[in-house]
Amino acid sequence: MYCATGCPQHKEFVPSMPTIAAIATPPGAGGIGIVRLSGPQSKALLAHIFLPLSPRFENFRPWFMHRGRVLDQHGEALDDVLAVFMPGPRTFTGEDMAEIHCHGGPLIVQSVLESLLRLGARQAERGEFSRRAFVNGRMDLSQAEAVAELIAAPSREALRYSLNRLDGLLGRRVLALREELEALRVQLCLAVDFPDEEVECLAPEDFGRAVGQVAHSVRSLLAGQKRAKVMQQGAVVVLAGAVNAGKSSLLNALLGRNRALVTDIPGTTRDFLEEACNLDGLPVRLTDTAGLRQTGGVRGGPDAVEALGMALSREKLVQADCILLLLDGARLGEAGAAAETCPDEAARQVLDLAGNTPVLLVWNKSDLCAPVVFPPRWSGGRFCCMVSARSGDNVDFLAQSLRRHLLADGCDNPPSDGLAPNARQALALEEALAELEELEADVSAGRPYDCCAVRLDTAAARLGEVTGLSSPAEVLDRVFAQFCIGK
């Protein structure tokens, strides 16, 4: 059975849960405070403490705001309020709900809540409203998680991403994949239970191909995991390179203000410096690091303090989501770009430490030297950009390119359909994918269909964990414990 949103009704639906109440607005003083009720006694409790001001008021007209006074347990007026009753099942929780909109003073809001609790309502637990929406089939678990992520969204990109997932796009895609596995399971049951009958059954080649298509779809969903993390948590971008390459100047240019100390003295930056930056709605933490240079007792080499700063720089490179590798164009000159191998010792160190981390090559001081050969011949196909951190030339283009690289996750056009999973969902998808890959290998090896059915069932169960169809109670407790009390 399906609810109005298209989500399957959950087996644990309980039609007569106790009525709960909670403050739905943030702590502290404000213009408006909202106290929310959900459960079978919502209307009765609201009627008990609400005194309408209109002489034509007869009963609570559903979805209509009524003005009146809210009373305490002694019948004394607490505030002039607006109240609304919302009958189930077409509410957020799927139950009868009510809200009291009062003035946002902490004492007023708390007094209204206490009056409801004294009349028999129970204080809602963290995430209990959203959990009831999940239990009553108003949303799946991926949508419920999107509610919390929407509230905590740190940027416009995260807001857009969470809102799209709240519409159920991820849940519907996963549900469709699970239904494909269920159809394959029917075929397996036919082959196992009626081996001698002339019934329609997939040949091993077709069966393996069908499993491979589902596995490919799961990989596509997992491909956006990094993008989801960047949208929700922001990205760490490390500025690295040789001493005096202009890292601190570029940090100031990207921030639009002078934050890092800039001098002509090599090795001015001895420690790393982190600053938050917003790239058109994408939160980024820029990390300016100490310049790298040779340490082996070379004359004019770094002192002990600078060496410690360089060690920290190497640690930050390992932690980076993306690296801006600055090249000192004035020092390298034309020969530096035309060379077949990288002539910059610090750049070679960064590239060795980067591993699989994306590296954007930034040819700085283009106002002093703009090479004819560009990108450098040794760039290896990496993104390259010429800038002048001092004058600001081309810095905006670098910022836009950095944003695209952080969001693209290897794709030319990063999708905005909200299908990128969060960490919990990605873990379930990874486990499902592992089972599907093993299943493909079993089918290719000619394993009996009854053995293959076990992996098929496990993969379907892992997919069900994404939407909550097969999630254990402890997983649900962990998810909804992260919500605020009024949601």
How high is the mean pLDDT of the chain?
81
pLDDT for the residue 148: 83
DSSP 104: E
Do residue 360 and residue 252 come from a single domain? Answer: yes
Residue 158 lies in a domain: no
Do residue 220 and residue 243 come from a single domain? Answer: no
Do residue 332 and residue 439 come from a single domain? Answer: no
Residue 482 lies in a domain: no
pLDDT for the residue 39: 95
The runs of H, that is alpha helices, within 371-422 are 395-408
pLDDT for the residue 191: 63
Q: Residue 464 and residue 476: Cα distance in Å, rounded?
A: 13
Higher-confidence residue of 378 and 271: namely 378
pLDDT for the residue 482: 72
Pairing of the two strands 122-123 and 235-241: unpaired
Do residue 240 and residue 383 come from a single domain? Answer: yes
pLDDT for the residue 193: 57
Residue 160 lies in a domain: no
User: Which range (46-60, 104-118, 443-457) has the least confidence?
Assistant: 443-457
Any idea what the CATH number is for the domain that residue 85 is in?
A: 3.30.1360.120
Higher-confidence residue of 100 and 320: namely 100
Q: Residue 320 and residue 237: Cα distance in Å, rounded?
A: 6
Domain count, the chain: 3
Residue 147 lies in a domain: no
pLDDT for the residue 370: 80
pLDDT for the residue 28: 87
Residue 287 lies in a domain: yes
Do residue 324 and residue 292 come from a single domain? Answer: yes
Do residue 399 and residue 308 come from a single domain? Answer: yes
Q: What is the mean pLDDT of residues 242-257?
A: 83
Q: Is 207 left (phi over 0), alpha (psi -120 to 50) or beta?
A: alpha
- With a CB cutoff of 8 Å and minimum separation 6, the contacts of 133 are 92, 93, 94, 139, 144
Domain end call among 365, 380, 408: 408
**Do residues 338 and 373 touch, judged by C-beta distance below 8 A?**
yes
**Do residues 305 and 342 touch, judged by C-beta distance below 8 A?**
no
| One-letter amino acid for residue 467 of the chain | T
Domain end call among 408, 439, 455: 408
Do residue 239 and residue 337 come from a single domain? Answer: yes
pLDDT for the residue 265: 42
Any idea what the CATH number is for the domain that residue 214 is in?
A: 1.20.120.430
Q: Determine if the pTM surpasses 0.85.
A: no
Residue 104 structural domain: 20-140
- Evaluate the CA torsion angle 401, 405, 406, 407 in order and state its sign: positive
Do residue 195 and residue 96 come from a single domain? Answer: no
Q: What is the mean pLDDT of residues 296-318?
A: 59
User: Which range (98-107, 193-202, 234-243, 419-428) has the least confidence?
Assistant: 193-202
Query: What values do phi and psi take at 205, rounded to 5?
Result: -65, -45
User: Which range (123-137, 299-313, 381-395) has the least confidence?
Assistant: 299-313
Do residue 112 and residue 217 come from a single domain? Answer: no
pLDDT for the residue 1: 32
Residue 240 lies in a domain: yes
Task: Place 156 in a pLDDT band, splitting at 50, 70 and 90.
Answer: confident
Higher-confidence residue of 61 and 164: namely 61
Query: Is a pLDDT exceeding 70 seen at residue 73?
Result: yes
Percent of the chain with pLDDT over 90: 28
Do residue 370 and residue 266 come from a single domain? Answer: yes
pLDDT for the residue 63: 95
- Digit-coded pLDDT (tens) for 167-226: 888 888 999 999 999 888 877 776 665 555 554 566 778 888 888 999 999 998 887 776
- Digit-coded pLDDT (tens) for 383-422: 999 988 888 888 899 989 888 888 775 444 444 455 678 8
The three-class DSSP label of residue 77 is strand
pLDDT for the residue 331: 84
pLDDT for the residue 277: 83
The CA distances from residue 46 to 39, 97, 152, in Å, are: 12, 10, 30
Task: Place 307 in a pLDDT band, splitting at 50, 70 and 90.
Answer: low
Q: Residue 133 and residue 91: Cα distance in Å, rounded?
A: 9
pLDDT for the residue 197: 52
Do residue 389 and residue 246 come from a single domain? Answer: yes
pLDDT for the residue 49: 95
Q: What is the mean pLDDT of residues 435-440?
A: 91
Q: What is the mean pLDDT of residues 6-12?
A: 42
Domain end call among 89, 105, 140: 140
Residue 454 lies in a domain: yes
Q: What is the mean pLDDT of residues 233-237?
A: 82
- Digit-coded pLDDT (tens) for 310-369: 567 677 777 788 889 888 888 887 777 778 788 888 888 888 888 888 889 988 888 888
pLDDT for the residue 201: 61
Q: What is the mean pLDDT of residues 122-135?
A: 92
Any idea what the CATH number is for the domain that residue 391 is in?
A: 3.40.50.300
Query: Is a pLDDT exceeding 90 seen at residue 293?
Result: no
Do residue 319 and residue 195 come from a single domain? Answer: no
Q: What is the mean pLDDT of residues 104-121?
A: 94
Indicate the length of the chain as a whole number: 487
- With a CB cutoff of 8 Å and minimum separation 6, the contacts of 123 are 20, 21, 22, 113, 117
